[in-house]
Amino acid sequence: MTFEISLLATPKAVPELRHHLRHHDFEVRLCATELVTNVIDHLGEGTPVTIRVNRTAHGHTRVEVTDPDPRALPALLRATSTDESGRGLALLDALTLRWGVDQGADHKTVWCEVWREPREPISPNESDTAGGFGSLAGATGPAGCV
């Protein structure tokens, strides 16, 4: 399973991206759109991005968003109850096994890995009955940060 799309990061592109990812689980859609929203908020509307979703060797699902600014790095913040922003990466950190940033000379890729796609049971005896958050069941280990 590999998905790749290039687009301009705009508010209109977010629902378009969700539509393209409609066959993926909730966590994948949420992570991808959150990462694109961060590009809009921190680099500006119209920034070109490439979004990739693929399976890792360990059976996890990896979501990557590449943008052209290697200097603007994401930061995990602690938002208060009155803050109007600053929760996106905290949400990503809570939903994923790990996340990080790969920097190149003229770009960066922010990536995260989710446990698995709930619609694809790990074994024949396991089924996803927990709805959209089924992929969180059994996830262990701390989420990573670079």
For residue 123, the model assigns a pLDDT of 39
Backbone angles phi, psi at 112, to 5 degrees: -150, 160
Q: 11 or 137, which is more confident? A: 11
User: Would you call 29 exposed, middle or buried from its count of C-beta atoms within 10 A (0-12, 13-18, 19+)?
Assistant: buried
pLDDT band at 76 (very low <50, low <70, confident <90, very high): confident
CATH number of 2-136: 3.30.565.10
Percentage of the chain surpassing pLDDT 90? 60
DSSP lists the bridge partners of residue 50 as: 6, 66
**Which long-range CB contacts under 8 A does 100-104 form with residues at least 24 apart?**
100/144, 100/145, 100/146, 101/73, 101/74, 101/146, 103/70, 103/73, 104/70
Q: Which residue has the tokens 């994948």?
A: 28
The model's pLDDT over 90-117, given as tens digits with 9 standing for 90+, comes to 889 999 999 999 999 999 999 999 986 5
For residue 106, the model assigns a pLDDT of 97
Listed by start position, the domains of the chain span: 2-136
pTM attached to this predicted model: 0.76
For residue 140, the model assigns a pLDDT of 33
